[in-house]
Amino acid sequence: MLVSAYQQGIFPWFSEGEPLLWWSPDPRFGLFPDKLHVSSTMRKVLRKRPWEWSLDRDFASVIAHCSKVPRKRQRGTWITHDMVEAYRELHLLGYAHSVEVRLDGTLAGGFYGVSIGNMFFGESMFSLEDDASKAAFIPFVWFLAASGFTLVDSQVYTEHLAGLGAEEMSRDSYLAILASAIGSPTRRGNWGSLFPDFPQGVEFDRVLGQGSPHTKARPSA
């Protein structure tokens, strides 16, 4: 049901004790990977701290943190126990993926979402250290751009992603983009195994440069 919903531009969003609610907002909010904006301040953050990135290394911990870490101006969580179980099953089926970032071997931040065709549907992110969710997200978007992904679906407006270049579009425009993107093959499976070189790439190497803490390859799985 979840896969079918995403293919139609619909996603679940509800709190504990509420009926199951499905959404298809207008306008829609998303980030075209080639329009990612990385500030000079964030580039310095990426260079100076010894981040370690991985894909699908600890999906269970990422979604657990997303459901528990407090957010400004929010009470409680929409990531209920049933939602956690559903997305963990999607992960086992090779559709849902996590991106993790660590400092000194300890999980510092990350996010999870669903991939179908050339679309990545972002669901939730968390930070246990300053800027950790951005540090996880930015190299991942560079990876998506290099891999031919069309859009990161962010669903509804947030200042956090607007600052990175995400933009609003009409629902009709979004559905047209979606229909084209999901026609491409889906990269199902554990992304740590499918993309063992993550997060290396032209943009990653250009921004971090020679002599950064990240010039040595790190395991993704």
pLDDT score at 220: 44
pLDDT of residue 212: 58
pLDDT for 86: 94
Mean pLDDT of 26-52: 95
pLDDT for the residue numbered 135: 97
First-to-last CA distance in the chain? 29
| pLDDT, tens digit, 9 for 90 and up, residues 149-197 | 999 999 999 999 999 999 999 999 999 999 999 999 999 999 999 999 9
pLDDT digits (tens, 9 = 90+) for 54-85: 999 999 999 999 988 654 444 345 688 888 99
Q: Report the predicted TM-score, pTM, of the whole model to 2 decimal places.
A: 0.90
Architecture of domain 2-8+32-208: 3-Layer(aba) Sandwich (3.40)
pLDDT tens-digit profile of 126-148? Answer: 999 999 999 999 999 999 999 99
DSSP letters for 23-86: E--SSEEEE-GGG----HHHHHHHHHS-EEEEESS-HHHHHHHHHHS--TT--S-S--HHHHHH
Q: What is the mean pLDDT of the chain?
A: 89
What does the domain layout of the chain look like in residue ranges? 2-8+32-208
- What is the structure's pLDDT at 200? 81
